[in-house]
Amino acid sequence: MGEGATITPYRDGPLIVRGDFRLVDQDGAEIDPGRKTVALCRCGKSGIKPFCDGTHKRSGFSAPSAPSRPRPAAAILHQAGRPAPD
Ligand code: FES
């Protein structure tokens, strides 16, 4: 599987997926990404889901790139001095 994939949440935009990945629907059927790097919609407004079509810009979608706070389970484990599971 090579080096795996990198998924980057872009500020106010999509999830950019780079690297060695497979895109499948919830039934496991392959979705042809059509390219090696894809942008997946996270604003919910794209007309070509799961791909981004740029609508996030017109819809005023706003989200940070990094998490604004840790996931609840990770925060609880951190407070308990234990590492978060993979
Ligand atoms: S993130 Fe681009 S259309 Fe939704």
CA dist., res. 1 & res. 77, Å (int): 31
Domain ranges of the chain: 1-86
Q: Is 62 in the pocket of ligand 1 (CB under 6 A)?
A: no
Q: Is 38 in the pocket of ligand 1 (CB under 6 A)?
A: no
Domain 1-86: assigned CATH number:
3.40.5.90
How confident is residue 85, by pLDDT bands cut at 50, 70 and 90? low
User: At residue 5, does pLDDT exceed 60?
Assistant: yes
CA dist., res. 24 & res. 11, Å (int): 25
pLDDT tens digits, 11-54:
999 999 999 999 999 999 999 999 999 999 999 999 999 999 99
Ligand 1 atom closest to 40 (CA): 1
- What's the pLDDT score for residue 78? 79
User: At residue 63, does pLDDT exceed 60?
Assistant: yes
How confident is residue 84, by pLDDT bands cut at 50, 70 and 90? low
Q: Is 56 in the pocket of ligand 1 (CB under 6 A)?
A: yes
